[in-house]
Structure 1
Amino acid sequence: MAEDETGQDPIGQDVRLTSLDQRLKAAADAEKVRTGTVQREPGKGYSQGSRVLTELIAGPAGGALIGWLLDGWLGTSPWLLLVLMVLGIAVAFRNIMRISSQRAE
């Protein structure tokens, strides 16, 4: 196609302007990500870390709570508390190993 003296295609849009618009949009998007104005979805590693933290807290705490309640009811203080807390820790570590073996995508 023939260009006029300004360098623009008389029929369609200038290719240089289209390229400039695309580069400006890409730069604006990169700036939004850099400044944190765009929320990015958390990755799989972040969600796995949250699950590991939940297991580390819930396993021993759940075992200790159940053991404490059973100790008060059965009068075996502090043995069921200790046994069920250790059991909760073991279950938490087993679950953490299972979470760690999942393949990250």
Structure 2
Amino acid sequence: MAASESDRDPLEEDVRVSSLEERLVSAQTRERIKAGHRNKGPDESQRLGARVLSYLIGGVAAGFVLGWIFDTWLGTTPMFLLLFFFLGTGVAFRKIYMISSQPVDDIGTALTDDDD
């Protein structure tokens, strides 16, 4: 009686299966490395956009609050509020202009807040 395929030992490992498993493990490792590089966090342009947005909101809000405080303290109704509101807006736009006038290569390295 000849040995049929059903008589083979089911625990015997096939070379093709082990090769496939090795390739699968290496592919999964490469994908984990790629995913790790992609998910590091915000890139330079996202940080720069957040910085511009914070200047805009912060300048307007700080001018409004300072103007309201001076108006309340001195009893002048809208004078200082309007003055500091427009002053804060102007400062915010000046900071945004300074960022946008930098060369593209220097923007990523100039993330520190240095007043001129």
Q: Same fold (TM over 0.5)?
A: yes
Structure 1 residue aligned with 2:30: 26
1:1-105 matches, cutoff 5 A: 20=23, 24=27, 25-30=29-34, 33=35, 39-102=39-102, 103=104, 104-105=107-108
The 3-state SS of whatever aligns with 1:62 is helix
Percent of pairs identical after alignment? 40
Structure 1 residue aligned with 2:13: none
Q: How many residues align?
A: 84
Q: TM-score, normalised by structure 1?
A: 0.65
Distance 1:28 1:61 in 2: 43
Q: What amino acid sits opposite 1:74 in the alignment?
A: L
Change (3 A) 1:22 1:100: farther
Alignment gaps of 5+ in structure 2? 1-22, 109-116
Alignment gaps of 5+ in structure 1? 1-19
Distance 1:69 1:27 in 2: 56
- Higher gyration radius (CA): 2
Q: CA RMSD in A?
A: 2.9
